[in-house]
Amino acid sequence: MEVLPNFRLACTDGDARASICYRYNVVVSSQSVHQVASADFPTRWGKFRIFGFRDTAGKEEAVALVMGDVRSVPPLVRIHSQCLTGDVFGSLRCDCRQQLEMALAMIAEQGAGVLIYEQQEGRGIGLMAKLQAYELQDAGLDTVEANERLGFEADLRAFALPAGILKTLGVSKVRLLSNNPDKVAALERGGIEVVERVPCEVTPSSHAEDYLKTKKEKMGHLFSR
């Protein structure tokens, strides 16, 4: 597995990402969470413990699957955003389910790690709007154009909750499984040190090629292919 060195996103005035960085800063620094539940959770990848978390404002909820010792050394961490169409129905329009399964398999292989599952369907726009975006994509728009046509930013996620969850779990340094540099930057602003970014690349179906091309070209996701 290729492991890239510590990755930091420059966030300066004039940077096209500056407004996003600013939003992350504001949100991340004020976020705190509390644990709602914790239970044994056997899966086909192995035995996890499942945690329920809610932010203190009571607005956002997320689940964390935790395996093994995640405190002694920086654990493998994946932050996955809910994708009903991909995760449950096996949609080939995106690579979400493949990434989810790859992350769980890699954590199980290491014997330790955390998967945080955030309820942010369609990069935060919600399920119905995501289906409308699919309709627009069928008419020729790409995923970013479709979101913007519907009045949303390309990516509404703030990644504030995950930093709070990791702190609550006693994790301050992580090896982040992600192709998204914004996630690395946002976690670091939340006080979590990303010691490595570990690529989470799957072989996509032909249906998802355009979607992944847009993620790479317009959203700065890093793919080796």
* Residue 191 tokens, joined: 């006080």
Query: 46 or 220: whose CB is closer to Zn ion?
Result: 220
Among the residue ranges 86-94, 172-180, 191-199, 204-212, the one whose residues contact Zn ion (CB under 5 A): 86-94
Write down the least CB distance from residue 94 to Zn ion, Å. 3
Write down the least CB distance from residue 208 to Zn ion, Å. 9
Write down the least CB distance from residue 96 to Zn ion, Å. 3
Does 176 help bind Zn ion (rule: CB under 5 A)?
no
Q: Kindly tell me the burial class for residue 206, based on how many C-beta atoms sit within 10 Å of its own C-beta (0-12, 13-18, 19 or more).
A: exposed
Quick one: which of 83, 133, 160, 185 contacts Zn ion (CB under 5 A)?
A: 83
Does 86 help bind Zn ion (rule: CB under 5 A)?
yes
Residue with the two structure tokens 């700065």:
220
Quick one: which of 20, 62, 70, 94 contacts Zn ion (CB under 5 A)?
A: 94
Bridge partners of 64?
51, 116
* Residue 11 tokens, joined: 């966030």
Query: 65 or 96: whose CB is closer to Zn ion?
Result: 96
Residue with the two structure tokens 């301050």:
172
Query: 8 or 207: whose CB is closer to Zn ion?
Result: 207
Q: Is 181 helix (H, G, I), strand (E, B) or coil?
A: helix
Among the residue ranges 55-63, 77-85, 108-116, 137-145, the one whose residues contact Zn ion (CB under 5 A): 77-85
- Number of neighbouring beta carbons within 10 Å of residue 26: 13
Query: 110 or 205: whose CB is closer to Zn ion?
Result: 205
Query: Is 155 known to be catalytic?
Result: yes
Size of the site for Zn ion (CB under 5 A): 4
Residue from 78, 97, 123, 157 carrying the catalytic annotation: 157
Give the separation between CA 77 and CA 62, rounded to whole angstroms. 14
Give the DSSP H or E segment for 161. helix 160-168
Does 96 help bind Zn ion (rule: CB under 5 A)?
yes
Write down the least CB distance from residue 124 to Zn ion, Å. 13
Give long-range contacts, CB 8 A cutoff, 24+ apart: 103-106.
Answer: 103/78, 103/177, 103/200, 104/43, 104/45, 104/65, 105/45, 106/76, 106/78, 106/177, 106/198
Write down the least CB distance from residue 110 to Zn ion, Å. 24
Q: Which residues are catalytic?
A: 155, 157
Q: Which residues bind Zn ion (CB under 5 A)?
A: 83, 86, 94, 96
